[in-house]
Amino acid sequence: RKEVEQDPGPFNVPEGATVAFNCTYSNSASQSFFWYRQDCRKEPKLLMSVYSSGNEDGRFTAQLNRASQYISLLIRDSKLSDSATYLCVVNLRGGGADGLTFGKGTHLIIQP
């Protein structure tokens, strides 16, 4: 089973719409979960951490389902500037100095 798996897309979504992505991870002992966004040929930038109870930051909502080992990201009222690749990122082994495991990313295109 792939360690962190995402639908690569692309998702073509009209401006103002709501879009959701899912991601699955392989290790049930994983402790830390994040969504990063990456623009073309740029560095990954933290969008939000994902907490067990779910969390919201403006138009963005993240959920964690430990039983099913998946993470979701919901974007409401999408903007043209939301066009990017969204990376599901997990600390699979749960250690403080562990490297992060990245999914391949989901490509989102917001259309005017």
| Contact set with other proteins (CB under 8 A) | 31-34, 38, 41-46, 49, 51, 87, 91, 93-105
Q: How far is the CB of 67 from other proteins (least distance, A)?
A: 19
CB atoms within 10 A of CB 38: 17
Q: How far is the CB of 101 from other proteins (least distance, A)?
A: 7
Nearer to other proteins, 6 or 78 (CB): 6
Nearer to other proteins, 17 or 109 (CB): 109
Residue 45, token pair as written in the block: 């930038």
Q: Does 44 sit behind a cis peptide bond, omega within 30 degrees of 0 on the bond before it?
A: no
Q: How far is the CB of 82 from other proteins (least distance, A)?
A: 19
| C-alpha 29 chain-centroid distance | 19
Residue (of 44, 72, 45, 43) closest to 56 by Cα position: 72
Q: How far is the CB of 33 from other proteins (least distance, A)?
A: 8
Nearer to other proteins, 67 or 97 (CB): 97
Nearer to other proteins, 78 or 92 (CB): 92
Contact 34, 49 (CB under 8 A): yes
Contact 55, 34 (CB under 8 A): no
